[in-house]
């Protein structure tokens, strides 16, 4: 009986083993040890220096938009910083002033001008299609995208005597509406509320309370009682305030409900009538602020020291040193936060993990 059972078991094994083997996934063959996986690296010197004006920012993790002067025209090109491919997006015959990429990175606002007292605002998509265009009397113009409804913008038009008018611009409806607000420098707090600092007009001050105003009914509410600088991001409000008169200064991150997420304190360099807030950028997808911090105390006008580049995790409060002994220049990070444009014309790229800097402009005597 036992012998018969053994025969049966052996028969089952002989029949089923080939089937089991056939059902196993095929193992991928490993590459030879001396063959390394190809790593992406940023191509240096890929942007022509001739006619270069500036880089305005990232549209993807690998592509940027650069502005060039070509004869009488201003040209907007998209560049892949890894493979060097180039594609023309748009061309304008008006005199270029500035440009800004929308928070969702699918639109570009172009501020141009034909005279000193007028501004032309054009908004295009990444294919170069004109979505909105308007001319307005303006000696100076500021603008800010609405991160909560990207069909809306705020624009402030200044006259030569610095009187001003704030406008709400709707791209989709192609409408411009005047907004009555106490201060000219405003930001969106939500789809229907804006933020402004209520400055004392009777005396010079370096800090002011921060207010929110509903643009539908005009009602206002104080958000922060003292702030020298603020910036509303999608998930957090940054407010900077002095711990004592003369510093140090605290960078505080506040939720939409008014709860403090985290904060850190640094020294700022003094200026004649205010304090220098060094360049910074928020990596929204990672809730990380990357900012320059002065390595020494003092006055900005006479400061001969360098700056450290640091990264602050808004949620955990973790502080990370990225790089040391750097000049203070504008910085703007890619959506994934792995690389940042850097420089007065955003003509360089920093790879954060390596702290390495690549020059994008060709060495042709560019106007740096």
| pLDDT tens-digit map of 231-262 | 999 999 999 999 988 889 999 999 999 999 99
pLDDT given at position 15: 34
* Predicted confidence (pLDDT) per residue in 159-184, tens digit: 999 999 999 999 999 999 999 999 99
Instruction: Tell me: pLDDT of 98 over 60.
Output: yes
Contact between residue 89 and residue 76 where contact means Cβ atoms under 8 Å apart: yes
Q: 31: which DSSP letter?
A: P
* 284-321 core/surface letters (b: 16 or more CB in 10 A; e: else): bebbbbbbbbbeeeeebeebeeebbbbbbbbeeeeeee
In 78-138, which residue ranges form alpha helices assigned H by DSSP?
none
Instruction: Tell me: pLDDT of 2 over 70.
Output: no
pLDDT given at position 19: 35
pLDDT given at position 90: 98
Q: Rounded to an integer, what distance in angstroms lies between the CA atom of residue 242 and that of residue 266?
A: 10
* Predicted confidence (pLDDT) per residue in 320-355, tens digit: 999 999 999 999 999 999 999 999 999 999 999 988
pLDDT given at position 39: 55
Instruction: Tell me: pLDDT of 9 over 90.
Output: no
pLDDT given at position 207: 94
Structure-block tokens of residue 14: 């002989």
Question: Of 237, 260, 262, 263, whose CA–CA distance to 249 is shortest?
Answer: 263
Q: Rounded to an integer, what distance in angstroms lies between the CA atom of residue 320 and that of residue 253?
A: 17
Instruction: Tell me: pLDDT of 16 over 70.
Output: no
pLDDT band at 40 (very low <50, low <70, confident <90, very high): confident
Q: Rounded to an integer, what distance in angstroms lies between the CA atom of residue 38 and that of residue 18?
A: 38
Q: Rounded to an integer, what distance in angstroms lies between the CA atom of residue 207 and that of residue 12?
A: 84
Average per-residue pLDDT for the chain: 89
Residue at token pair 């360049």: 279
Tell me the average pLDDT across 84-111: 97
Q: Rounded to an integer, what distance in angstroms lies between the CA atom of residue 180 and that of residue 166?
A: 7
* Predicted confidence (pLDDT) per residue in 254-307, tens digit: 999 999 999 999 999 999 889 999 999 999 999 999 999 999 999 999 999 999
Residue at token pair 């060097």: 84
pTM recorded for the entire structure: 0.86
């Amino acid at each position: 009986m036992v012998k018969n059972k053994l025969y049966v078991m052996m028969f089952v094994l002989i029949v089923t083993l080939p089937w089991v083997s056939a059902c196993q996934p095929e193992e991928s063959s490993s590459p030879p040890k001396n063959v390394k996986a190809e790593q992406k690296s940023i191509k240096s010197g890929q942007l022509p220096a001739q006619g270069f004006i500036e880089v305005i920012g990232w549209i993807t993790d690998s592509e940027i938009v650069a502005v060039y002067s070509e004869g009488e025209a201003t040209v907007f090109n998209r560049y892949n910083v890894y493979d060097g491919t180039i594609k023309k997006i748009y061309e304008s015959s008006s005199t270029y002033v500035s440009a800004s990429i929308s928070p969702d990175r699918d639109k570009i606002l172009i501020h141009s001008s034909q005279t000193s007292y007028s501004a032309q605002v054009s908004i295009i998509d990444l294919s170069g299609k004109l979505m909105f265009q308007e001319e307005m009397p303006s000696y100076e113009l500021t603008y800010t995208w609405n991160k909560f409804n990207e069909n809306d913008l705020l624009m402030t038009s200044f006259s030569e005597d610095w009187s001003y008018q704030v406008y709400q611009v709707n791209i989709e409806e192609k409408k411009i509406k005047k907004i009555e607000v106490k201060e000219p420098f405003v930001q969106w707090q939500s789809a229907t509320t804006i933020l402004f600092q209520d400055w004392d007009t009777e005396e010079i001050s370096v800090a002011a309370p921060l207010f929110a105003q509903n643009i539908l009914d005009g009602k206002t509410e104080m958000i922060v009682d003292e702030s020298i600088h603020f910036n509303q991001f999608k998930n957090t409000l940054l407010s900077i305030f002095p711990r004592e008169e003369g510093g140090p200064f605290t960078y505080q991150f506040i939720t939409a409900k008014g709860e403090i997420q985290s904060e850190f304190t640094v020294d700022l360099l003094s200026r004649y009538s205010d304090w220098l807030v060094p360049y910074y950028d928020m990596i929204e997808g990672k809730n990380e602020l990357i900012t320059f911090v002065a390595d020494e105390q003092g006055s900005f006008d006479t400061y001969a020291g360098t700056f450290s580049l640091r990264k602050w995790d808004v949620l955990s409060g973790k502080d990370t040193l990225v790089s040391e002994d750097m000049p203070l220049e504008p910085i703007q990070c890619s959506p994934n936060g792995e690389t940042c444009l850097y420089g007065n014309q955003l003509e360089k790229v920093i790879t954060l993990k390596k702290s390495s800097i690549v020059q994008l402009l060709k060495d042709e005597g560019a106007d740096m």
